[in-house]
Amino acid sequence: MENNKLIRQMYDSLGEGHGHEPGVAHVEIHGNKVLGLHLVDGLEIIAEEKEEGIDATIRVKAGIKIEKPVKICFGLIPETGVQRINIKTHIEKNASIGIVASCTFPFAKEILHTMDAEIRLDEGAEYTYIERHVHGPEGGVTVIPRAKVILGKGARFRTDFELIKGRVGEIDIEYDAECHARSILEMSARISGRGTDKIRINEMANLLGEDAVAVLTTNIAVRDSAHARIENTIIASAAGTRGHVDCKEIIQGNATAQAIPIVDVRHAKAHVTHEAAIGSVDSKQLETLMARGLNEDDATDLIIEGLLRPQY
Amino acid sequence: MSEKTILQVDNVSLELGGKRILNHLSMDIWTGHVHAIVGVNGAGKSTLASTIMGLNGYRHFEGDILFEGQSIKNMNVAERARLGITLAWQEPARYEGLTVEKFILAGAGNACSHTVERALQTLGLDPGKYAQRAVDRTLSGGERKRVELASIVAMRPRLVIMDEPDSGIDVDALNRIFDTLKILRDHGSTVILITHSMTVLKQADHAFLLCCGNVLDKGGIDKIEGFFGRKCQGCDHQNKPDQEELNGE
């Protein structure tokens, strides 16, 4: 009963019902305790409660395509606590899966959420990982995701991080991807910070195989005294590799932001570009909306809403 | 004069970077009419448009601008827009992630999705294909121009300034924009076309010829078109008219 209540509270905080469509795999983890686990054919998830956190493995067997996105709900309902997740994910040859991971800490005052992930995609595998966060109105949460991703030949990995409600608190993301021939990597994050929030994103794509492609996109808005530091790197070491690092940050008030796109090209037939823009809201965008009658604050909010709009 | 004046530009002078761009410029814009403001590059046309709209950097000028008899000199862009004045940019802004639907609704008050549909259809854009697209680089310049005009149609302004409406678009899109001009006029909007194109000029009822930040001549389209074609195109003292021309001789 207690488990069901926690599951309901977690889904309620996300604005979602806790009923699931038939054929949808789902996992619920509260703190370091597994509350629910429902699988579908071809999907293997093992989650073990350990003293230091949850050790989990996700495996999709070769050739299996999980049709409906798997829902994973991580969270902590109390104001304080620690959640540590260690996940090893293996998507085997030509298999595919999409995961929507909701991480909810709606009343957080002093919560630590860490995620250490090893993700391996074999040849031709596809994996989409959408991460949606709900935090408390005062922040009060430190989120530290770490991931090491290996994309085999022709594999495709796409991930998107979004804070949909509440304050950031502190987010410190580090993803490191190794991309083999013809693989495609897309990593994006969209976060709005305020108050004394701190956002740090450090993503690295190492294009090792011919014709591998990576796109790293970060859209950030910070105001008050919030701070953002984005350091995204693409290393292109093989012929035909292509990449783009894109970082846009809108700052208001006393907020500060740094963008450090690093493009390291080590092959004459590789092509990597970068674009970074930090500043207040573009004056032409602002004045266009004001010329339709919006005041400056509403026009600014609309521009930021667009910047942070989900890509997938 | 029986025509009612909606906008009066009264002896306006404006300097940018130490250079006088508008020079004691005066003109009356009549309610419900389509006016063209023509002139060669650098004549001050777009500066005048920005000054009327009150854009940042164009607010400090000598003289006055009256909208229906009320000075708008100390109003910001949004305040002028709420009176019913709006501007279509020569090169419309791009917005990452902002949908066409939200962009159009931003200026349309309490409008609903039907307003968006109708506005897009007016500009020949399929709402099913465009409403949820972002107003970003994935739209061509011509598409963005039409989306911007759709937002103006939805706004139902009282005075629209269109800066170089033919810039960067193909013939079909231009014809659609001309059709939209008629619709705006039918809705009671007054229009100012900023242009150096004879094709656009012909859509107007009256025209002002600008040179060196001043009105060199005004009147019917045939008169201005003739003067502009004969004397301005290839003029060897563009934007430095001699005194005779400034005196209208």
Question: Each residue of B187-218: pLDDT tens digit?
Answer: 999 999 999 889 999 999 999 999 989 999 99
The reply to whether residue B106 touches residue A307, judged by beta carbons under 8 angstroms, is: no
Place of tokens 């794509």: A205
A40 touching chain B per CB within 8 A: no
Tell me what pLDDT residue B249 has: 45
* Residues A249-263, mean pLDDT to the nearest whole number: 95
Given CB atoms, is B110 within the 8 Å cutoff of chain A? no
Helix (H) or strand (E) holding A213: strand A213-222
Q: Tens of pLDDT along B67-112?
A: 999 999 999 999 999 999 999 999 999 998 999 999 999 988 867 7
CB A190 within 8 A of CB A161: yes
For residue B162, pLDDT over 90 is answered with yes
| Cα A28 from Cα A33, distance rounded (Å) | 9
Using a CB-CB cut-off of 8 Å, the residues of chain A touching B82 are 293
Residue B146 phi/psi, 5-degree rounding, is -70, -35
Measured between alpha carbons, how far is B211 from A64 in angstroms, rounded to an integer? 72
CB contact under 8 A, B98 and A291: no
Check residue B168 and give its pLDDT.
83
Provide the residue count of chain A: 312
B76 touches chain A (CB under 8 A): yes
Residue reference for tokens 């409906």: A68
Q: How many CA atoms lie within 13 A of A241 on its CB side?
A: 32
- 3-state SS class at B139: coil
Which residues of A are less than 8 Å from B109 in CB distance? 293
pLDDT single digits (tens) A57-72: 999 999 999 999 999 9
Tell me which residue has tokens 């074999």.
Answer: A122
Q: What is the pLDDT averaged over residues B150-175?
A: 92
Return the higher-pLDDT residue of B26 and B249.
B26
Rounded mean pLDDT, A89-115:
97
A146, two tokens: 């770490």
Q: Is the pLDDT of residue A232 over 80?
A: yes
Return the pLDDT at A2: 81
The residues facing A171 across adjacent strands are A143, A199
> b/e map of B232-242 (b: 16 or more CB within 10 Å)?
beeeeebbebe
Closest approach of A86 to chain B, Cα-based (Å): 33
How confident is residue A284, by pLDDT bands cut at 50, 70 and 90?
very high
Please report which confidence band the pLDDT of residue B1 belongs to, taking 50, 70 and 90 as the band edges. very low
Binned at pLDDT 50, 70 and 90, residue B239 comes out as: low
Smallest Cβ–Cβ distance between A296 and the set B78, B89, B93 belongs to B78
The set of long-range contacts for A32-37, using a CB threshold of 8 Å and a minimum separation of 24, is A32/A82, A32/A83, A32/A84, A35/A3, A35/A6, A35/A7, A36/A3, A36/A7
Tens digit of each residue's pLDDT (9 = 90 or more) over A153-185: 999 999 999 998 999 999 999 999 999 999 999
DSSP assignment, residue A136? B
Rounded-to-integer distance, Cα B26 and Cα B122, Å: 34
Cβ atoms A98, A130 nearer than 8 A: yes
Q: How close A47 gets to chain B, by Cα (Å)? A: 37
Find the mean pLDDT for residues A282-301: 95
Closest by Cα among B187, B203, B185 to B195? B203
Find all residues with CB under 8 Å of B228, minimum gap 6, and list them: B38, B39, B198, B201, B209
Residue A110 binned pLDDT confidence (cut-offs 50, 70, 90):
very high
Token readout for A68 is 């409906």
Please report residues of B whose CB lies closer than 8 A to that of A273.
none
Q: B100: helix, coil or strand?
A: helix
Specify whether the CB–CB gap between B209 and B216 falls below 8 A: yes
Average pLDDT over chain B reads 90
Radius of gyration of chain B (CA): 18
Residue of A nearest to B150 (CA): A292
- Residues on chain B touching A285 (C-beta within 8 angstroms): 93-95
pLDDT at B2: 62
Residue A49 DSSP SS3: strand
Residue of A nearest to B161 (CA): A291
Q: H or E segment at B90?
A: none
Q: Is the minimum CB–CB distance between A289 and chain B shorter than 8 Å?
A: yes
- Contact between chains at A306 and B98 (C-beta distance less than 8 A): yes
The C-alpha angle with vertex B77 and arms to B74 and B81, in degrees rounded to 5, equals 110
Which of B78, B96, B97 is nearest residue A293 as measured by Cβ atoms? B78
Average pLDDT of the residues in B221-225: 89
Q: Are B33 and B6 in contact (CB under 8 A)?
A: no
A294 with B93: Cβ contact below 8 A: no
Distance from the A145 Cα atom to the nearest Cα atom in chain B, whole angstroms:
26
**What span, in angstroms and rounded, lies between the C-alpha atoms of A124 and A95?**
7
* Residue B170 or residue B34, greater confidence: B34
pLDDT mean over B117-144: 94
**Geometric angle at alpha carbon B56, from B52 and B57, rounded to 5°:** 90
Task: Report A:212-241 residues touching B (Cβ under 8 A).
Answer: 219
**Coil/strand/helix, residue B84:** coil
Within 8 A by CB and 6+ apart from B40, the residues are B196, B211, B232, B233, B235, B238, B239
> What whole-number distance in Å separates Cα of residue A27 and Cα of residue B71?
64
Written as one letter, the residue type at B99 is T
**Among chain B residues, CA nearest to A312:** B97
A305 contacts B97? CB cut-off 8 A? yes
The tokens describing B107, both together, are: 């200026």
Q: ipTM of this predicted complex? A: 0.92
For the residues B156-174, what does the mean pLDDT come to? Answer: 91
